Structure 1
Amino acid sequence: MAQITFITGGQRSGKSSFAQKRAEESSASPVYLATARIWDEDFHKRVKRHQSDRGEQWITIEEEIEISKHVLTGKTVLLDCITLWLTNIFYQNKNDVDTSLELAKREWNKFINQNMELFVVSNELGMGVHPENEMARKFADLQGWMNQYIAQTANEVFLMVSGIPIQVKASPDPHKGEGYEASYA
């Protein structure tokens, strides 16, 4: 079972930098599991910036949906990010929240069934502006429910605020939790 550190926060809160630093402290050759699909030129520039921030010691794997198909046992892995991964799943499933959430949970469960140290980056979409259209609201719901699900499986959870990591959860056993069972409906 993976040792999971979940790092969430708003856009430009320092999530990726914090996760990258932690992964580099843990391994001389960490794996960067990139979930991005390049949709436009602006996003291409963002990806290039992230790539230039990483040193040559990083092994990069690009995977849009099937994260569990990669054998990463014994590795230190930085998965960046859940939001882009969910975007790909949501798009593939014609914006159906229930189908997307079920597929994402199933894929996540298979993925974390490997013995690895895993740093996971995600976004807190529900802390910003209320989405203006139905599809954006559906995606924000999907993101929130999946973040809850991942946080439940995580050993540690950090919320990034203005570049400062705030530890939200520190648990030696991710299956014991704090007596809180999240609702996903």
Structure 2
Amino acid sequence: MLPKLTFVLGGAASGKSAFAENLIVQTGAPRVYIATAEVYDSEMEAKVQRHKTMRGPNWRSIEAPRDLGPAFTSVSKDEIALLDCATMWLTNHMMGEADIEAQTSDLLHQLATCEGRVVVVSNEVGMGIVPDNAMARRFRDLQGRLNQRLADQSELAVFVVAGQPLVLKGTLP
């Protein structure tokens, strides 16, 4: 059985979303997909459509690029929600010049009080080169801190590389 909070981390195109989806599907529980992406161009539209096709029709979908409160409130104790992904959520708040610390604290509270179980997907962005501009460095630092806090709060944390899971914390079901 999946714990109350599972954190799945990986690089771009690492297979983290597919891994997280599969974890949820294996439970047999009703599933909710909470999407944080905002579509601004045809490339992102294609990516969103590809993810929808891969998931299939058996997901209740909620689009919540910034305000996750109503999405988490709607998840029942029998459901498992997939938040995909914390990286896009953070980006949306950065671009909106929000108070990131306040938003992060609110997210962690919402995860703790959600009635259902939640799997959070996020990108590991700190393993590459140091970005060449201040905004990218700030994003890398904020994402790193958000990932640390999500991993701390989770009961299961998994790093996905080349589609393969490496358990950082807890035990896979």
TM-score (norm 2): 0.90
Counterpart residue type for residue 81 of structure 1: C
| Runs of 4+ displaced beyond 6 Å | none
- Is the Cα contact below 8 Å between 2:32 and 2:62 reproduced in 1? yes
Which residue in the other structure is 2:60 paired with? 59
- Is the Cα contact below 8 Å between 2:11 and 2:161 reproduced in 1? yes
Per-residue deviation, 1:101? 2.6
Which residue in the other structure is 2:102 paired with? 102
Q: How does 1:31-180 map to 2 (within 5 A)?
A: 31-70=32-71, 71-74=74-77, 75-93=79-97, 99-170=99-170
Unaligned runs of 5+ in 1: 172-185
Q: Does 1:7 align with 2:8?
A: yes
Q: Which of 127-136 and 105-114 deviates more?
A: 105-114
Per-residue deviation, 1:164? 0.6
Tell me how far apart the structure 2 counterparts of residues 50 and 130 of structure 1 sit (CA, whole Å): 30
Counterpart residue type for residue 166 of structure 1: L
- Output one character per residue of 1:139-158: Cα deviation in whole Å (capped at 9) or x when no partner: 11110000001111100000
Per-residue deviation, 1:80? 0.3
- Is the Cα contact below 8 Å between 1:81 and 1:120 reproduced in 2? yes
Secondary structure, counterpart of 1:159 in structure 2? strand
Counterpart residue type for residue 39 of structure 1: Y
Tell me how far apart the structure 2 counterparts of residues 141 and 73 of structure 1 sit (CA, whole Å): 33
- Is the Cα contact below 8 Å between 1:33 and 1:61 reproduced in 2? yes
Q: Which of 151-160 and 162-171 deviates more?
A: 162-171
Tell me how far apart the structure 2 counterparts of residues 16 and 156 of structure 1 sit (CA, whole Å): 15
Per-residue deviation, 1:79? 0.7
Per-residue deviation, 1:105? 1.9
Counterpart residue type for residue 24 of structure 1: V
- Output one character per residue of 1:85-144: Cα deviation in whole Å (capped at 9) or x when no partner: 0011111116xxxx2132222233124312211111000000123212110100111100
**RMSD after superposition:** 1.5
Unaligned runs of 5+ in 2: none
Q: What percent of counterpart residues are identical?
A: 36
TM-score (norm 1): 0.84
Secondary structure, counterpart of 2:113 in structure 1? coil
Tell me how far apart the structure 1 counterparts of residues 50 and 106 of structure 2 sit (CA, whole Å): 31
